Structure 1
Amino acid sequence: MLNKRLPQDLAGWLMLVSDAEIPILRQTVRRLDKARQQVERVNGRDITDIVLQDPLLAVRVVAFIQSVGSKHLRSDITNIASAVMMLGVEPFFRTFEKPLAIESMLSQQPQALLGMLQVVLRAQRASRYAHEWAFARHDMNVEEVALAALLHDLAEILLWCFAPELAMEIRSLLHADRNLRSASVQQQVLGFPLADLQLALCEVWHLPALLTTLMDDGNGQLPRVQNVKLAVNLARHSVDGWTDAAIPDDFAAIEKLLHISRETLLARLQLPPELLPGLMSGPAAGRSASPNRLA
């Protein structure tokens, strides 16, 4: 299923990804099949819960909504619950019938599948953090912030899907030299940083401007964007444990955003008790690129 003749520039990648069928997680396929079998007992909240565990399905749902209905109505659909409500339960199942599972695409490349699943795990964790912090900040639409965090590293996930060899090359280079900047390595391997592909896909899929703004780190002066970015950072730095040198800086920024103490933050994160002494007093340190980070 993988395209071996890969594009050489951003425009080519944009065409490849935007024209392809976006796969979803096999677990999501199974959950959808189970829900479809009892459709008379399934409601919009049940479907939303399934979609929000899978960034690949989430972007498919949002992109599909942008292709139907009026321009004014589309601009108001900035979270999955609203999208599902607009579609309706039975039309949703008809629209997303027999989706392709990413595990099938990468069945012959177990290391690539593992790399992709690690990024999905990060995205799920980032979305959860973003949701919790947005709620604590009394954000006007918590679900928007959570969705933006879930989709923040979508281009990286798609790279693992459609060009796993290149994704593994980027990861290897970052492993070999922790001082390298991810964007620089992506530029070297792909010819552009993944953030550029991410924003270009948002435009091609006509994703709501608000959602695109929340995913764009260039808007970091906005508290809601800070919420998303800090959730993404902490998820990335903690995915392999809580010893990354960047975590103290993450904590300090989160405490500033939420106006809480280190003790309160650690309590909210619900970390194992044995980790707390070191994290309570750990000195701030310079950020280092986590080896599993591509974006």
Structure 2
Amino acid sequence: MQAHQWQWGISQWVEYLKDKEIPVLASTRAVLTALREGPDEERERLSARDMADIVYADPYLALKVLRKAEDSRSRQLGHDTTTPLAAILQVGFDELHDIVIGSPLPVDVLPGCAICEQRSLLASAIARAWADRRADISSDEVAMAALLVEIGELLLWHFAPEMTDKEVGVREWNERYWALALRQSEIEFTFRQLTMALAQAWGLPGLVIALIKGTDTPRANIARLAADAAKRISIEPEVPALLAILQEVSGVVPGAELAELAAPLPLPDELRDALLAAIAALPAD
């Protein structure tokens, strides 16, 4: 990273990042390679859902497949492609394999990057569980949006790791210890603002961009709140913060009990018990 890049604003980072060759996870490469080298009948038994599950396990691949499918759709003037499942139906196994094999693997990844990757996967899983509870929306679309919410930060981890490591430290300090003393950020935009700007620069489907934005509709709010829950769990999970998120989720998932909404959260037993006790102690409506 060059010294002058510390002074860049969001538009400069978008221009720098939008055409970078995005990696895929090493685990994804291993899975696709094993399938390619395995028996033909094993590949033939793969359903579109099986392949979509591979994509949902890798936020980078999800982005690459979505962009590939959207590019093809734009040329054919078809409908927007808004989920990995729909994208897989367009690209198929061979093209999925080629995308993965043709992508670089991460090099010298800092611990914070791995945490962000896991947070993306967790957000997607939570979003799907909550969206499934609200049967009138597409859980695939919500899970896709939650999976991509952190893509701006993830790309910075790969292409500006020193800056990102420092900035994440500042923001985590401010979230935990804001009452003591706030530390000054050296970046004038949020990571999610960068994600939104990149999504627009890449020409992602309008629905996906709206869901990543995280407001205005139940689906978008579920995606946003799932990402918030995943971040809270990965930093320092506390009952009051998690309870506040669950109460907000209950407003967009009518009829869902708070304990039911807490079920997808991967919490230590002691913390889960404390959260459920706090829910039980709430006054009845």
Shorter-chain TM-score category?
0.7 to 0.9
Match of 2:29 in 1: 29
Contact 2:24 2:104 in 1 (8 A): yes
Report SS of the residue matched to 2:57.
coil
Contact 2:146 2:223 in 1 (8 A): yes
- Cα distance in 1 for partners of 2:224, 2:153 equals 15
Report SS of the residue matched to 2:72.
coil
Contact 1:39 1:90 in 2 (8 A): no
Contact 2:24 2:100 in 1 (8 A): no
Contact 1:74 1:208 in 2 (8 A): no
- Cα distance in 2 for partners of 1:65, 1:185 equals 42
Is 1:81 the counterpart of 2:105? The answer is no
Contact 2:218 2:252 in 1 (8 A): yes
Is 1:282 the counterpart of 2:281? The answer is no
- Listed as ranges, the matches of 1:8-19 within 5 Å are 8-19=8-19
- Cα distance in 2 for partners of 1:154, 1:32 equals 22
Match of 2:140 in 1: 143
Is 1:121 the counterpart of 2:118? The answer is yes
Pairs aligned (count): 270
TM-score with structure 2 setting the length: 0.83
* Displacement after TM superposition at 1:92 (Å): 2.5
Match of 1:48 in 2: 52
Q: Which runs of 5+ in 2 are unaligned?
A: 280-285
Q: Which runs of 5+ in 1 are unaligned?
A: 284-295
Report SS of the residue matched to 2:136.
coil
Letter in 2 for 1:38: G
* Displacement after TM superposition at 1:264 (Å): 3.0
Report SS of the residue matched to 2:101.
coil
- Cα distance in 1 for partners of 2:159, 2:104 equals 13
- Listed as ranges, the matches of 1:127-276 within 5 Å are 127-177=124-174, 178=176, 188-217=185-214, 220-240=215-235, 242-243=237-238, 245-258=240-253, 259-267=255-263, 269=265, 271=267, 273-276=269-272
- Cα distance in 2 for partners of 1:120, 1:114 equals 10
Query: Per the alignment, do residues 185 and 208 of structure 1 end up closer, same or farther by CA in structure 2, a change over 3 Å counting?
Result: farther
TM-score with structure 1 setting the length: 0.81
Letter in 2 for 1:6: Q
Letter in 1 for 2:119: R
* Displacement after TM superposition at 1:65 (Å): 1.6
CA deviations on 1:238-275 (whole Å, 9 max, x unpaired) are 12564264212112212333333333334454755433
Please identify, of 204-213 and 231-240, the stretch whose mean Cα deviation from structure 2 is larger.
231-240
Contact 1:65 1:74 in 2 (8 A): no
- Cα distance in 2 for partners of 1:275, 1:165 equals 33
**Aligned residues: CA RMSD:** 2.8
CA deviations on 1:20-41 (whole Å, 9 max, x unpaired) are 1001111111112112223733
Percentage of matched positions with identical amino acids: 28
